[in-house]
Amino acid sequence: MASYKKSPLEKLKTKLNRLTSEPEIKEQNKKIKVRNKILLEYSSRLIKYSKRRYYPSKIDDLVEEYFIVKIPLNHKNLNLLGSNPINPPFGARKIIDLFRNVSTTLFDSITIGATQNKISGNAISITKELYDTILKIDKEEGKDKKARFTSRIAPFLKSDYAITVPSSSVGRNYSLLLKEMIASGELTKTDLIALSDKLDSGETNQVIIEKQVKKQVKWLIETIEELLEDTNLNATKAKDFGKEKFGYSKASITGPEHLIEKILSDYGQFTLFGVPALLNTDKYVLTTGSQSRSQFDLILITHLGDIEVVELKRTDETILDYDSSRGKFYPSKSLSIAVAQAERYITAVTKDNDEEYKIDGKKIREYINEQVGGTTFIETVRPTALILIGSWETLTKDYNKLTAETRKKVSESDYNDNGLRAYREIKNSYRNLKVLNYSELLEHARTRLEIMKSE
């Protein structure tokens, strides 16, 4: 059982709790205030800083700025906040001033860590990647300016004061220069191919390839986490997300469940599941003489050469429902249906060599061995099933959406703690069947990635 992973909101609250230990700083209805003036407000989706800034060491400790700052709340964007998030990231002013200097628009709002770079009226949206890149360039240019200044005044200090100034230079961050060249459009595909051809073969190239693989795994984990943060998906959102992040055509995605199936089919074998083979079939298992049929979402071939059938539910599906009269959690309708389906799949796979269970006119074992391509021979001994459903965000229904009567009976902390305990108990109650939420799946993948990095 993976350890419980804190949500972005929980991590933010930990930071904010440190702030409210100061007597001047108060929190009320998810708003952080100083002397009843709002500095910032937050939700599970967004942190929004007002135009006020608080500097306790100054005589005039409350200052009015000319812009507000918004930060979408997710694991990646939490890195934008320092240990003292009472004021927005220092780079916000640099970006606002940069845009004001190169434009006639008086920008008064900036969203840092947005999903895309765009301007809408007086508001700027900037991705975390571009935000970080601009600040790195600014820092490097600042050092370069200081070095040039020192070099130019050195002769005067030497002739008039007999002071010798040591020469200094600034090392170039060539990865930044490469990004600038790519963004400028001056670097062509031919240039990149020529550059890669100059790399020595062997160990150096191997390091580059491994770094790229790790980078892609990290990107995949963070991108799926973005999907998990939307707890109210629909077909339109799924189509947009699939096209923007993975380049899928909108017509190829029918809805949220189909989107995650495509992502796991295309990218999940090594990075998320860590198995020798992964099959995705749109064929039905038909039972002779009846209308009964089952369709596996994914089939994993384990390192022991056995079969694990994966039943995929939506990433935004609620996992546990709550009985307020008994004060108990129980499997949601969606999870209960998934369990029944998974049990039926295990029964079908157990009969992988029976004539009565067939996929595309072939016995299950024959069909799967054909798909694997002769790399290994599959003979079912210990078939299992894996249900993937929801995330830590959707483990239980949002406490604030419970009825007022229910909230009187149970505190939010008890509700969340009991929900987590019930989930752990349910996970261990099934035979040959595992229940995992998508957050846990990503945590397993992140652990494997960290092991790869340490090696």
Rounded CA-CA distance 181/242 in Å is 28
Sheet holding 277-279, edge to edge: 277-279, 298-301, 307-312, 384-388, 433-436
State yes or no: pLDDT of 351 exceeds 60: yes
Rounded CA-CA distance 206/165 in Å is 44
Rounded CA-CA distance 352/359 in Å is 10
| Higher per-residue confidence, 390 vs 183 | 390
204 to 200, 208, 298, 442: CA distances (angstroms): 6, 6, 37, 30
Band the pLDDT of 314: cuts 50, 70, 90: very high
Band the pLDDT of 423: cuts 50, 70, 90: very high
Tell me the domains of the chain and their CATH numbers: 8-126 (no CATH), 212-454 (3.40.91)
Tokens 């935000």 belong to 131
**Mode of pairing for the β-strands spanning 384-388 and 433-436:** parallel
State yes or no: pLDDT of 2 exceeds 50: no
Nearest to 285 by CA among 336, 351, 337: 351
Please write the tens of the pLDDT for every residue from 45-76.
999 999 999 998 888 899 999 999 999 999 88
State yes or no: pLDDT of 304 exceeds 80: no
3-state secondary structure (DSSP) of residue 58:
coil
Contact at 8 Å (CB) between 227 and 390? no
State yes or no: pLDDT of 296 exceeds 70: yes
Please write the tens of the pLDDT for every residue from 160-206.
778 787 766 656 666 666 666 666 666 666 666 666 666 655 555 55
Rounded CA-CA distance 207/332 in Å is 46
